[in-house]
A and B are shown apart, each in its own frame.
Chain A
């Protein structure tokens, strides 16, 4: 049987995934097994682990093999655990704490995992960073659930929401992914008015604006906007893969690239500095005050019901 062997000699993160996505998809198409050899890699990010695990799931669901080879010492022990191989003698290298990749198949599991990540964050970050990052995980994971196990469109099949978190030296790293319809396709289908006159390659950037990434009946489209504000204020960065595009967002600037082959679903990888000055209340309040103003312009505000 044919095997595609990929030897990773340096590191495996989002950039390397971007490089190999075509080969992975072609192997899938031609029913070729894949072996990714990480024995010589000196660094594999949590994003790289999640993306490789995704392909492992996809290959296995089609009766194919997607093998990941790891060293049995050093960094590999940490990776083994992230890859779910349950090394007993795992030591937390570099004082790292982590939530190994969780696959949530329903709302209850998503809620539980979000609470686990919150606990990791609380142990390692300031209250403000912990609260802000917990909030954005809730937003992104809930939305991923709509596309993953929720099957937004009739063409989708129930698939998990993947969540992982890592306390990595000065940063917190989070990865959230679903195998659903994708941001670009969702905007094309449900947000035509919002993307009128905008090039398709700019859809991911547009999705970071308030009220764009939502759905007409059930979502106000605040999650990606709020996330981008937290990234901006938290001196962090964000990578998104969705459908045919990938986007890197840092310092308020987004750069988008066309992928060599389609990514089925949405992957979001975030990195935020643990000592950032973040104020979630201010971010949400700023948006709410705008709404209050708009509302007052139209009619008198009724006394708030519960606040």
Chain B
């Protein structure tokens, strides 16, 4: 299968804005919708804001089935252990925040 490559470091080592996260999510969404696999390469990235992480990782996790994401979207972490560890935590936080938010919204709808 032909995988689409997205190098986040093309946008800088520090990824700051929510708009940028949204822009990248929309590209990924387009590929996912057409059944394509994606490699999201974080090599060289040192940091992203919680808004960027929410817009990209949080919202993808709230929109798509986890199994589909695991199968189609491969994340490559930086070789630097420090950067890799920090980015993993930021992604985990974004996913948890978004799941929590979704759960609250669903509770609200049910009541």
Residues in A lying within 8 Å of B, measured CB to CB: 106-108, 110-112, 114-115, 118, 127, 131, 134-135, 137-139, 141-143, 145-146, 217-220, 222-223, 226, 280-281, 284-285, 287-288, 291-292, 294-295, 298, 302-307
A303→B66 CA distance, assembly (Å): 9
Say whether A111 contacts B11, CB under 8 Å. yes
Please judge, given known A-B contacts A139-B49, A143-B51, A220-B50, whether A306 and B100 are in contact too, CB under 8 Å. Answer: no
Residue of chain B at shortest CB distance from A121: B14
Say whether B100 contacts A142, CB under 8 Å. no
Contacts of B99 in A (CB 8 A): 295
Please judge, given known A-B contacts A111-B16, A141-B16, A142-B16, whether A291 and B75 are in contact too, CB under 8 Å. Answer: no
Residue of chain A at shortest CB distance from B99: A295
Say whether A139 contacts B51, CB under 8 Å. yes
Residue of chain B at shortest CB distance from A118: B14
A-B contact pairs, 12 of them (CB 8 A): A107-B20, A138-B47, A145-B19, A220-B54, A222-B97, A284-B86, A284-B93, A287-B93, A288-B96, A291-B93, A302-B66, A306-B95
Contact of B92 among A115, A134, A146, A288 (CB under 8 A): A288
* Count of residues in B whose CB is under 8 Å from the partner chain: 41
- Please report which residues of chain B, range 45-79, place their CB below 8 angstroms from some CB of chain A when the two chains form the complex: 46-52, 54, 57, 61, 66, 69-70, 73, 75
Say whether B75 contacts A306, CB under 8 Å. yes
Residue of chain A at shortest CB distance from B17: A107
Contacts of A127 in B (CB 8 A): 82
A217→B69 CA distance, assembly (Å): 23
Contacts of A146 in B (CB 8 A): 18
Please judge, given known A-B contacts A107-B20, A291-B97, A295-B96, whether A223 and B50 are in contact too, CB under 8 Å. Answer: yes
Contact of A305 among B19, B51, B70, B82 (CB under 8 A): B70
Residue of chain B at shortest CB distance from A280: B86
Say whether B11 contacts A288, CB under 8 Å. no
A295→B104 CA distance, assembly (Å): 12
B5 at the interface (CB under 8 A from A): no
A134→B54 CA distance, assembly (Å): 18
Say whether B16 contacts A110, CB under 8 Å. yes
A219→B94 CA distance, assembly (Å): 10
Say whether B89 contacts A142, CB under 8 Å. no
Looking at the assembled complex, report how far the CB atom of B85 sits from the nearest CB atom of chain A, in whole angstroms. Answer: 6
